[in-house]
Structure 1
Amino acid sequence: MQQYVIYKRVSTKAQGQSGLGLDAQVRDIELFLENFSEGPYEVLGEFLEIESGASSDRPELVKALDLVRKTGAELLVSKLDRLSRKVSFIATVMDDPKVKLRVASMPMAEPFQLHIYAALAEQEREFISIRTKAALAEAKEKGVKLGGLRPKTEARNEAIQANAKARAMKVSKIVMPLRGQGASLRAIAEALDVAGIDTARGGKWTAKQVQRTLERLSID
């Protein structure tokens, strides 16, 4: 019987209590177990971490990995970035001969593919960070006051727009060809979900979100 140890991670205590971000992980893992697990399976343990993806201090992950090594079970996460946002950290886990990693949203991915995906995801985050800083610097040059008590400043809006445009560019190679072939917004949303690409908030795509993405891509 195939055995799994499930590991989930949210960034804040509020997310853990509200289910924000956690529900999507639970759903993806359930879909994997129901549709992609090899034969009968058993879940030996479930661990929930409340910690930033950039942090290497993961007591719950340590417990999960200990159980994996002792039992030979597979470590199952919903998405690769739930394990970590650092390529070096992911590589260390994957290089452990006693640990086999499975990613629910990428059920057929081999270790080599997971390495590549982790590296590309890290590059994307670095690019978004650079674009956000550039937008803030440009806003400052225009005389926009940064900080203060107002929660929504022009600079913040520009940074958010730059972030959204970068995310739109990421999915453009899927969205644009499908739209060009006459695919509906709903069909494109389903294709993005099948590809394992989440929205900015870690959820599933809707036709309205696809429409907004197309609008961002049309703005040069």
Structure 2
Amino acid sequence: MTTTADSVKKIDVVSYCRVSSSSQGESGLGLEAQREYIDRAAKQNGWNIVGEFVDVVSGKLAIEDRPEGKRALVACKELGAQLVVAKLDRLSRSVHHIARLMEQTEFKVATMPHAKTFELHLFAALAQQEREFIANRTKEALAALQARAAEGDVQSLEKIARRTEALKKGRTATNRAKANKAIQDRVSSWQESVRDPIDLCILKGGRTLQQVADCLNGKGINTSRGSTWSSMQVKRVMQKLALTLPSKEDAL
């Protein structure tokens, strides 16, 4: 008895995978998953994989402008095969690129094996729109964070420091040092701006952290976040500035 899988004519496909960095490509992270998606879809849908091409390149480039992507398209034409990718964003993150590719060759997406051309175009458009929304929200959030940091908000400065640390990879040691110094300078500048007010509060009789906090709040001096002072916040800043409260003996 002939099974359904046997009765379906096999379609020749050329497998195409893309990773964004050399470390991803060398370690196989991402690449192995893409191959698994494609292999599984091929077995389930009767596709015959006749070639495989792998690029280590940014998705911003159109597939025809990528070294292995260009070869994959040539192979599709020569073998009369369709291109297959694990996910749509492996082809491109641009609707324009995908629309142009649709005019050049037929292609399939392993995670959406039965999607038609119109559906793939729609998915690409929605994905691009979502990325643009996320990018805009990220820019707005970063701008707000930088504005608070410029006003001396310590927590914002620390967040920027962590973000800078995350972006260090790929930067030169000189650039990393400059970025770290700029952040430390901002932190030090704000801390120095409250040195005299804290010192004056101590000179005027502040004998506990809470008394210093009350004094600062009474003067209308806000914390780096624009809020009122607590004893713990006073303690942290005083430690950074090497300021101390007078001992009981000194107070007598």
Q: Structure 1-normalised TM-score?
A: 0.63
Once the two structures are superposed, the pairs formed by residues 53-92 of structure 1 within 5 Å of their partners are 53-56=59-62, 57-92=65-100
| C-alpha distance in structure 2 between counterparts of 1:29 and 1:152, whole Å | 32
Q: 1:19 aligns with which of 25, 28, 49?
A: 28
Q: 1:134 aligns with which of 105, 122, 140?
A: 140
Amino acid at match of 1:6: S
Q: Residues 72 and 148 from structure 1, CA distance in 2 versus in 1: closer, same or farther, beyond 3 angstroms?
A: same
Q: Which has the higher helix share?
A: 2
| C-alpha distance in structure 1 between counterparts of 2:13 and 2:29, whole Å | 24
Structure 1 gap segments, 5+ residues each? 154-220
Q: 1:151 aligns with which of 135, 159, 165?
A: 165
| C-alpha distance in structure 2 between counterparts of 1:150 and 1:49, whole Å | 29
Q: 2:112 aligns with which of 106, 116, 130?
A: 106
> What SS class does the counterpart of residue 60 from structure 2 fall into?
coil
The answer to whether residue 56 in structure 2 is matched with residue 50 in structure 1 is yes
Amino acid at match of 2:71: K
| C-alpha distance in structure 1 between counterparts of 2:58 and 2:121, whole Å | 20
Deviation at 1:34, TM superposition (A): 1.4
Deviation at 1:18, TM superposition (A): 1.0
Q: Residues 89 and 152 from structure 1, CA distance in 2 versus in 1: closer, same or farther, beyond 3 angstroms?
A: closer
Q: Residues 34 and 134 from structure 1, CA distance in 2 versus in 1: closer, same or farther, beyond 3 angstroms?
A: same
Deviation at 1:147, TM superposition (A): 5.4
Q: What RMSD in Å do the two structures reach over aligned CA positions?
A: 2.0
The answer to whether residue 123 in structure 2 is matched with residue 123 in structure 1 is no
> What SS class does the counterpart of residue 44 from structure 1 fall into?
strand
Deviation at 1:150, TM superposition (A): 5.7
| C-alpha distance in structure 1 between counterparts of 2:120 and 2:163, whole Å | 42
Give every structure 1 segment of 4 or more consecutive aligned residues whose post-TM-superposition deviation is greater than 6 Å. Answer: none
| C-alpha distance in structure 1 between counterparts of 2:78 and 2:135, whole Å | 39
Q: Quick check: 2:37–2:110 contact (8 Å CA) kept in 1?
A: yes
Deviation at 1:42, TM superposition (A): 2.9
Tell which structure's C-alpha radius of gyration is larger.
Answer: 2
> What SS class does the counterpart of residue 20 from structure 1 fall into?
coil
> What SS class does the counterpart of residue 45 from structure 1 fall into?
strand
Query: Percentage identity across aligned positions?
Result: 44
Q: Structure 2-normalised TM-score?
A: 0.55
Amino acid at match of 1:46: E
Aligned to 1:34: 43
| C-alpha distance in structure 2 between counterparts of 1:94 and 1:76, whole Å | 13
Instruction: Give the length in aligned residue pairs.
Output: 148
Aligned to 1:198: none
The answer to whether residue 11 in structure 2 is matched with residue 5 in structure 1 is no
Amino acid at match of 1:111: T
